Structure 1
Amino acid sequence: MRKVIMYMQSTLNGYGADPGDEMFWASISEQTWEFTNSLHERCDAILMGRKMYQDFLGFWPEAAKDESDSDVARHARWQYDLSKFVVSTTLTEADPAWPNTRILGDLDAVRALKEQPGKDILIAGGIGITKALANAGLIDDYYIHLNPATIPDGTLLLDSRLDLKLVEAKQHDTGVVALHYTPA
């Protein structure tokens, strides 16, 4: 069975984004990209909510045209080529600018997707869809990069009761602590 993997950045006080849905506080380093690149080997699909999908359409398809060896360009090309699944009850069709995208109507479709053959599935973004998947018990691995920063307000990364077991903790040179949890 495929796993659904969450990988998100968080502040020390639990926020995944500031009120403007920005992440200026996130410390992105070479170690961050090394971890991200390891997910390229492990995952053959990404999963996202409608809002993040629509936000991503404004950046990632165009970034995939960059033929350089930069981390962003490699990540953009990886996303462009693989299967993309959007959980939405309002979208009816995917934008052709980002091929291999399929609209899933609800979380039952995610359950069915986990049963299909393939590598793991990475949640590519959206705190709302992440919370919904967590609350439904559909996330198998939680990777949180805990940043040495706080912000006074924002959107909590997770906001319901989850019983998790720490698998691994690593400190990055930037002070970020990379945490890996699984459901207890």
Structure 2
Amino acid sequence: MNSANPNQQKVLPLRRPFLLQLQHPHANEMLRQAMASMDLRRVWPKSPRLTQTGDESMLTRTTCAVTLMVLSSMPALADSCADHYQSSGVPLVTGATHKVWMIFPSVNPSVALDRVSRAVLAEGFVGVNVDKNLGTLTTQQETTGSGRPQTLRVVVRKEGRGSRVDAVFILPPGQVAPGVSNNPCRVVDAAGQ
């Protein structure tokens, strides 16, 4: 701290490179290849606390292992819901259909369906029909006063060891919904939370 200004904090420079985020579909594999091809002892400055023997090598291995675990536990960095969003139809002229899907490699389909049904209720839908045998959720809402409801259908199915969640939000002709591209994503993303 500076004696002239006691509230000013000293900023220390970073001595080692750090990783902010990798947003690439093959981030884990790229990181593995990069770590295997580089000798971190040449890149990182030598620490006076570590000897040249096994301590530095053990620190490097531990750092690499922790980095790989963190990156592999976050599949959402590789894909986002917005990457899988599609819409069709002309707003106000024809009916509009908004579709989105996501894969959650470590979430059981029954757990994903339960999480999605809670998210749908949190979005304000009423009359939610859940069929656990089929892995489907169907609900409607009528917010315009026209008597023509908007329909949300969600299907959760097994994909490898995890789940795939598909959602379709259907608007009848003459209706628009603000923020409709974000709303299905909130429902689908709930399966992975």
TM-score range, shorter chain: under 0.3
- TM-score of the superposed pair, with normalisation by structure 1: 0.22
More strand per residue: 1
Which is helix-richer, 1 or 2? 2
Q: State TM-score, norm by structure 2.
A: 0.21
- Higher relative contact order structure (alpha carbons within 8 Å, sequence separation ≥ 6): 1
